[in-house]
Amino acid sequence: MVQKMCERINLPLVSVVIPVYNRENTVAAAIDSVLDQTYENIEIIVVNDASTDNTENVLFDKYKDKIKYFKNEKNMGVSFSRNKGIENANGKNIAFLDSDDIWFPFHIKDAIDAMQRTDRSVCCSLWTENYYGETFDLSQSPYFKKIHRDKLKSELEISVDDSLWIFSPGIYEYILKTDFYFFQINTLVLEKKVIDDIGCFDESMKASEDMDLCYRIFRKYPPVAINKSHFMYNYGHDNLWAFANREKELSEFSDDEKKKMRFTILQKIEFYKKILERVNMDDSLSNIQAIKENICSNIIKRYMTINYLFNCRENINEISKYAITDKLKELAQKNESQLDEFLILD
């Protein structure tokens, strides 16, 4: 017992921030997955974003003495809620978990160990995706095991082995020009001083606020990444993929489904525009043309997807505006009926 207490004293406190809104059926599993962590020095901060269902009763009935609880007077959004959690965190380290997902028991321990071994302030890891009972472990995907692993070895000064990827500062540019998606907000563990330095979540963003934070972090703090699945990402009833089934014919989408997709796609476009503005003001980037071409390609494809979904041509001027290279001009000339090869639904 004494030895265990001494070990815990030597472990840095990790503050886990869980924003929740109307998750009466999933929040318990999320919190239980934190309580089941093998790492023993954790505080759990739950921020209720003015839920209208039975979420609060679930929290009080099961976890009243196990969490730090805050409730927004009105619905303020996930960024505001996460920032409130950060503001009230006492830990040296911060971690985030959405209220409909679950961590595997080794997540925090492995992340802290990796940060201490590599002297990095930020750690992330891979994850498993759950499509209504059908799971896919991204660490077993060729995307990570072969394609980008080889590219990273050749293009970055980086240590890559079977367990840890220790990224150099070049990882930020690599992400910008390739969309290399090896991170997820629910696997991010970082020292609180990083947030103090680069700032919290952007509360003006309605979507992709987590991507925006990660981009800002990686620009200054290259992470260590664990090549192992650390949490289960559940595609729920209100997730875009729940109604954006790529196997559907266009005629099978309802008007409501299309409106939801349109909103989500437009929010992602705004994210890429924000990144483009940031890139245009960043004199430190070395491969600016390739980066801008990739960002503009993401914008064009999403505008064309909207045109395809609604059988319209309303975004032609915007598409032309971002066709800044011959390659992008060729892309912009495609007819929306040719979009099957790159239909973008996020």
What does the pLDDT look like over 13-26, one tens digit per residue? 999 999 999 999 99
Dist CA 55 CA 127 (whole Å): 26
Say what the pLDDT of residue 3 is.
38
Dist CA 285 CA 105 (whole Å): 39
Contact between 232 and 102 under an 8 Å Cβ cutoff? The reply is yes
Top pLDDT among 335 and 343 is at 335
Answer yes or no: is pLDDT of 35 > 80.
yes
Say what the pLDDT of residue 308 is.
80
Say what the pLDDT of residue 343 is.
55
Say what the pLDDT of residue 106 is.
98
**Measured torsion, CA atoms of residues 91, 96, 102, 107, in degrees rounded to the nearest 10:** -50
Q: What backbone torsions phi and psi does residue 152 show, to the nearest 5 degrees?
A: -65, -40
Dist CA 211 CA 111 (whole Å): 20
Q: Quickly state the pLDDT bin for 33 (edges 50, 70, 90).
A: very high
Answer yes or no: is pLDDT of 340 > 80.
no
pLDDT tens for each residue of 277-334: 999 999 999 989 999 999 999 999 899 888 887 877 778 889 999 999 999 998 888 7
pLDDT, mean of residues 62-89: 97
Q: Quickly state the pLDDT bin for 243 (edges 50, 70, 90).
A: very low
Contact between 53 and 24 under an 8 Å Cβ cutoff? The reply is yes
Say what the pLDDT of residue 34 is.
98
Domain locations in the chain?
Answer: 2-234, 240-341
Contact between 244 and 268 under an 8 Å Cβ cutoff? The reply is no
pLDDT, mean of residues 123-148: 84
Say what the pLDDT of residue 337 is.
59
Closest-CA residue to 92 (of 105, 75, 111): 111
Alpha helices in the chain (DSSP H): 2-9, 27-35, 55-63, 78-87, 107-118, 142, 148-155, 171-178, 192-198, 209-220, 240-243, 255-280, 288-310, 316-321, 326-332
Strands 189-191 and 122-131: antiparallel
Q: What backbone torsions phi and psi does residue 116 show, to the nearest 5 degrees?
A: -70, -40
Average pLDDT, the chain: 87
Which superfamily does 2-234 belong to? Spore Coat Polysaccharide Biosynthesis Protein SpsA; Chain A (3.90.550.10)
Answer yes or no: is pLDDT of 8 > 90.
no
Residues 6+ positions from 303 with CB-CB distance below 8 Å: 269, 315, 318, 319
Dist CA 13 CA 30 (whole Å): 19
Q: Quickly state the pLDDT bin for 338 (edges 50, 70, 90).
A: low
3-state percent helix, strand, coil for the chain, nearest multiple of 5 = 50, 15, 35
Residue with tokens 């799971």: 135
Say what the pLDDT of residue 249 is.
62
Answer yes or no: is pLDDT of 242 > 70.
no
pLDDT tens for each residue of 93-127: 999 999 999 999 999 999 999 999 999 999 999 99
Q: Quickly state the pLDDT bin for 251 (edges 50, 70, 90).
A: low
